[in-house]
A and B are shown apart, each in its own frame.
Chain A
Amino acid sequence: MRHLMNPLDFSVEELDRLFDLANRIEKDPARYAHACDGKKLATCFYEPSTRTRLSFEAAMLNLGGQVLGFSDAASSSAAKGESVSDTIRIISCYADICAMRHPKEGAPMVAAERSGIPVINAGDGGHQHPTQTLTDLLTIRSLKGRLGSFTIGLCGDLKFGRTVHSLINALIRYTDIRFIFISPAELKVPDYITDMLTEKNIPYEEVIRLEDCMPDLDLLYMTRVQKERFFNEEDYVRLKDFYILDKTKLSAAKGDMLVLHPLPRVNEISVEVDDDPRAVYFKQAQYGVYVRMALILTLLGIEN
């Protein structure tokens, strides 16, 4: 039985098969509308995350399956002190597959060890959020036509951003990728990542301003710069505009560059950018559903 804990759990070849399936679903959703008839997905969310939960639920409903679950720890038996191990043993009796979100790191792995059904990590604290990374990869592959041979700019909070670290780790398995890290000094990508890139001979640059690299980019992955990450208000006010994408900054970009964002955005992408064909962050949310559909089918052994 397979589980998904980490985006690297799947080999590059397995990911190719998963993404091929997601693209087949995208082209002909009706063909898969009853693929999971009679199957149930349990969404065990120990902390609220409406978008991720709804994306999983939409994925299962699109496949003809049903969903059950809870959306925060207070409404689950965890409030009575039940362990994750006990909960998953019970859920295994009720459902065919489980998506688990938990504020504690490693909780879905504990569940997977005791589970009788496949478990998908739907986010465990600041640790992993593999379906977000799969969503990012599928979006790039579908809209760029390839995973590799591009320059990607990652912008915003690169120090604490879990999605950014996972995406870098997933992308280094492909060839001819150049990274440009765009962040204030306070939120630079951690040394262990730049050390790893140097060791693997993967080219990267670190710049302070978005304008410094815009014409070079094939992809721009935006993330939020949170005020509370700064030591003082003065630095925040001085730097925050460098990391807001607006029409003026975007005008310097290539015509086929794509702008991605894991969402939710606050103000780091101006709404005036939304209508630009290069802004694909809402399409990215749609690809999130397709990739979760493909994942459910794969882990249940229905396809692939």
Chain B
Amino acid sequence: MLNVGKIEEGFVLDHIEAGKSLEIYHHLKLDKLDCTVAIIKNARSNKMGKKDILKVECDVNTLNLDILAVIDHNITVNVIKDGEIVDKKELVLPREIHNVLKCKNPRCITSIEQELPHIFVLADEEKEIYRCKYCEEKAGNSFTW
């Protein structure tokens, strides 16, 4: 069994679907941050069989985790301070997502005007449906960064 040490301040993202941790690493732009990150893949889980875990050592105010709800709202976000879990953050679907999802509709204006932001708006909260702000095409399951 592999052991990864405790962090003093930051987040532990638990119950990530096995294999999705790298995708989340990119979406949270962790590659751009100068902090310690542990990516644990295929950890054993009673609930899920296999799961991924991300441990991020950082100031808890520096990271915007809204996008996690879009990727998988079953992820558990533990907020760590002084080496202890002080909060479990609830994931809320953001009203708008900027430049995370890419509109795949070849007829959309974003397909020819490269400088335009790719903005998706929450169209149905219950069904978790996002639509392109410009052409209203439904967001697919494939994410891009």
Contact = CB atoms under 8 A, between A and B. Distances in A.
A148 interface: no
Nearest to A128: B136
A126 interface: yes
A215 interface: no
Residue from B108, B133, B135 having most chain A Cβ neighbours under 10 A: B135
A104 interface: yes
Given A127-B135, A127-B136, A105 B116 contact: no
Contact of B135 (A83, A84, A85, A106): A106
A124 B111 CA distance: 14
7 contacts: A83-B115, A105-B107, A105-B108, A105-B135, A107-B134, A109-B133, A110-B116
Given A127-B135, A127-B136, A107 B107 contact: no
Interface in B75-116: 105, 107-113, 115-116
A181 B137 CA distance: 24
B132 interface: yes
Contact of B113 (A105, A110, A126): A110
A125 interface: yes
Nearest to A105: B135
Contacts of B134: 105-107, 109-110
B116 A104 contact: no
Interface string A101-116: 0111111011000000
B118 to A, nearest CB: 11
A105 B116 CA distance: 13
B109 A84 contact: yes
Interface in A85-138: 85, 102-107, 109-110, 124-127
Nearest to B111: A104
Interface residues of B, number: 16
Contacts of A110: 109, 113, 116, 134
Given A84-B113, A106-B108, 9 more contacts: A83-B113, A83-B115, A104-B107, A105-B108, A106-B110, A109-B133, A110-B134, A127-B107, A127-B136
Contacts of A83: 113, 115
B107 A125 contact: yes
A103 B109 CA distance: 9
Interface string B32-69: 00000000000000000000000000000000000000
B126 to A, nearest CB: 12
A288 to B, nearest CB: 24
Contacts of A104: 107-109, 111-112
Contacts of B133: 106, 109
B107 A126 contact: yes
Interface string A2-31: 000000000000000000000000000000
Nearest to B114: A83
A146 B20 CA distance: 55
Contacts of A109: 109, 133-134
Nearest to A78: B112
Contacts of A105: 105, 107-109, 134-137
A105 B109 CA distance: 6
A109 B109 CA distance: 9
Contacts of B108: 104-106
A109 B121 CA distance: 14
A110 B107 CA distance: 14
A250 B135 CA distance: 38
B83 to A, nearest CB: 47
B132 A106 contact: yes
Nearest to B113: A83
Nearest to B110: A106
Contacts of A106: 108-110, 132-136
Contacts of B132: 106
A87 to B, nearest CB: 11
A126 to B, nearest CB: 7
Contacts of A102: 109
4 closest cross-chain pairs (CB), A and B: A106-B134, A105-B135, A104-B109, A107-B109
